[in-house]
């Protein structure tokens, strides 16, 4: 496999992982802020109540159910591809 092809595969997986992580972050923050409008939501989590943290945690569990396996797979793929790209043979193929 060519070095550029490896780098492109790594970049695609990183982009997908970032998209998933952003979805998770948004969903958890929204749940913690009780679905409030952005201007009413507390950006400072030190202001959150116990109930807000419970909603946040429940959303995190749900997001892990929906996206966790895919996200972990992407991170494993990225790690494996980066190790492969670092091999002298892969570097010479570019």
The domain spans of the chain are: 3-92
Above 60 in pLDDT, residue 59? yes
Q: Which two tokens stand for residue 25?
A: 């972050």
Whether residue 90 has pLDDT greater than 60:
no
Q: Are 70 and 76 in contact (CB under 8 A)?
A: no
Angle at CA of residue 17, ends 15 and 23, nearest 5°: 105
What is the per-residue pLDDT for 39?
Answer: 52
């Amino acid at each position: 496999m060519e070095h550029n092809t490896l780098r492109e595969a790594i970049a695609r997986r990183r982009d997908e992982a970032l998209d998933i992580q952003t979805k998770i972050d948004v969903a958890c923050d929204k749940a913690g802020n009780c679905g409030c409008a952005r201007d009413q939501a507390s950006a400072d989590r030190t202001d959150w109540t116990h109930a807000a943290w419970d909603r946040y945690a429940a959303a995190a569990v749900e997001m892990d159910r929906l996206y966790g396996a895919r996200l972990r797979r992407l991170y494993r793929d990225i790690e494996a591809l980066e190790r492969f790209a670092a091999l002298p043979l892969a570097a010479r193929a570019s």
